[in-house]
């Protein structure tokens, strides 16, 4: 395995334009449950209802009640080795962008600066009825932790996070930028995603069609396993290995 990880590291270092596509699996190492894994949220709750726009309109308290632990308690979560290594790879110029389906802000916490959030972000909360009403994540999180709901100062309706719910379109600017990065990439790291949610799941195909290659690190099968040039199961093991090679490369400068 060590030789395979070293080979992957060399591919990352020598890539012309390496990007990463990440899913919920990269955050399980930070103690955040994924959706479809063996211990995922889908196993013991109606997770889709949490992010259903129609249901939010009927009962917004359900979203805040059910998502409080894994969204509004993020200050208690530390960036995993995947997040921090991706941040360091970007800092050294080896990774150009992180395209993420996640909404936990841990890539930023891990040091990544060019993060494209294709499923939106809780960084802002806004009123669905009053134009211009915005509340930052930190303020909303403090209200939710206090057992209350963030409300519009004008109409008193509950604010919605800028996360893309079922029934909403993805943020077009983010999707456009993600597509451009995928097309420019000669190497895409597909990390911790089962590639089941569209259109993000199709992004690796842009890389492949432009002549690039993909490397998949995921503990469940994906629809693109047969087209991956390398495949690993254990994110933690792979990124601990990359971390060691990064440290050695820094020492040998």
156 upstream amide cis, omega within 30 of 0: no
Taking alpha carbons only, the member of 148, 153, 147 closest to residue 135 is 153
DSSP string, 142-198: HHHHTT---B-TTT-PBPEEEE--BTSPPPHHHHHHHHHHHHH-SEEEEES--S-ST
Catalytic annotation, pick one of 83, 107, 119, 125:
119
Interatomic CA distance for residues 78 and 84, integer angstroms: 10
What are the phi and psi torsion angles at 154 (to 5°)?
-95, -55
Instruction: Please give the DSSP secondary-structure letter assigned to residue 17.
Output: S
**Are 66 and 73 spatial neighbours (Cβ–Cβ below 8 Å)?**
no
129 is catalytic: no
**Catalytic positions:** 119
């Amino acid at each position: 395995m060590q030789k395979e990880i070293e080979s992957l590291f060399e591919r990352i270092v020598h890539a012309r334009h390496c990007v990463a596509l990440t899913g919920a699996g990269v955050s399980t190492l930070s103690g955040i449950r994924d959706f479809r894994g063996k211990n995922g949220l889908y196993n013991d709750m109606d997770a889709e209802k949490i992010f259903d726009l129609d249901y939010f309109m009927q009962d917004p308290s359900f979203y805040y009640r059910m998502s409080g632990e894994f969204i509004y308690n993020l200050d208690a979560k530390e960036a995993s080795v995947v997040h921090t290594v991706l941040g360091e790879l970007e800092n050294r110029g080896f990774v150009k962008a992180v395209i993420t389906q996640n909404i936990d802000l841990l890539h930023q916490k891990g040091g990544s600066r060019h993060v494209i959030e294709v499923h939106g972000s809780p960084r802002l909360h806004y009123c669905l009825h009053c134009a211009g009403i915005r509340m930052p994540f930190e303020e909303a999180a403090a209200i939710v932790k206090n057992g209350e709901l963030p409300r519009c100062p004008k109409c008193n309706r509950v604010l919605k996070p800028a996360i893309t719910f079922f029934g909403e379109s993805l943020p077009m600017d983010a999707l456009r930028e993600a597509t451009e990065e995928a097309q420019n990439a000669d190497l895409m790291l597909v990390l911790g995603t089962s590639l089941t949610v569209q259109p993000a799941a199709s992004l690796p195909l842009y890389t492949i069609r432009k002549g690039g290659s993909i490397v998949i690190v995921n503990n469940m099968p994906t629809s693109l396993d047969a087209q991956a040039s390398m495949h690993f199961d254990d994110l933690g093991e792979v990124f601990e290995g990359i971390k060691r090679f990064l440290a050695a490369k820094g020492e040998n400068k």
